[in-house]
């Protein structure tokens, strides 16, 4: 499997790339962001998800395999525009939005191992705050 190993909040997850549906997004992630060491926080506007804001980072991306409603385990990148560039990991149901309104993120990966930990991760983000996160290609 080509994808991501994600270590976050004491949990280990594996995600497969959605290379057929989002090849440009996967390529940009590989070229510009990986490996990634950061912190993830609970979303402000979108429901049940963790969020890594990247500010005005330009990944050179446009909409690709977009969704406004990521399902649990889906990972999306919003490439910037009406809101900042950001990565979102859904642990529950999401209506992806910002203060500017509804957003469509590029669904580029899906958790395939460790998904049973997503609800506990969401609880940790909500009640304990920012958590260290590491994303590495496997």
Q: Which of the four pLDDT bands, split at 50, 70 and 90, describes residue 42?
A: very high
Q: How confident is the model at residue 50, as a pLDDT?
A: 97
CA distance 53 to 87: 7
For the cut 70, the answer to whether the pLDDT of residue 34 exceeds it is yes
CB 14 within 8 A of CB 111: yes
Q: How confident is the model at residue 99, as a pLDDT?
A: 87
Residue 64: CB partners within 8 Å, gap ≥ 6?
Answer: 21, 22, 23, 24, 25, 106, 108
| 59: Cα separation from own chain's centroid | 15
> What's 19's domain CATH number?
2.40.100.20
Q: How confident is the model at residue 35, as a pLDDT?
A: 96
For the cut 80, the answer to whether the pLDDT of residue 59 exceeds it is yes
**Mean predicted confidence (pLDDT) in 93-120:** 95
> Domain total for the chain?
1
Q: How confident is the model at residue 2, as a pLDDT?
A: 83
pLDDT more than 70, % of the chain: 99
What are the structure tokens assigned to 52, written together? 């890594």
Domain that holds residue 128: 3-137
Phi (first) and psi of residue 77, to 5 degrees: -120, 130
**Mean predicted confidence (pLDDT) in 86-111:** 94
Q: How confident is the model at residue 100, as a pLDDT?
A: 86
Phi (first) and psi of residue 118, to 5 degrees: -60, -45
Residue 127: CB partners within 8 Å, gap ≥ 6?
Answer: none
**Mean predicted confidence (pLDDT) in 69-94:** 95
pLDDT more than 90, % of the chain: 91
Q: How confident is the model at residue 1, as a pLDDT?
A: 61
């Amino acid at each position: 499997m080509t994808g991501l190993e994600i270590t976050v909040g004491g949990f280990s997850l594996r995600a497969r790339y959605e290379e057929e549906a989002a090849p440009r997004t996967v390529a940009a992630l590989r070229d510009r962001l990986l490996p990634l060491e950061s912190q993830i926080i609970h979303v402000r506007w979108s429901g049940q998800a963790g969020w890594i804001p990247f500010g005005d980072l330009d990944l050179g991306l446009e909409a690709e395999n977009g969704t406004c409603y990521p399902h649990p385990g889906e990972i999306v990148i919003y490439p910037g525009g009406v809101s900042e560039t950001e990565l979102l990991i859904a642990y529950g149901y999401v209506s992806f939005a910002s203060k500017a309104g509804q957003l469509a993120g590029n669904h580029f990966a899906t958790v395939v191992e460790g998904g049973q930990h997503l609800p506990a991760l969401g609880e940790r983000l909500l009640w304990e705050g920012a958590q260290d996160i590491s994303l590495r290609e496997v």
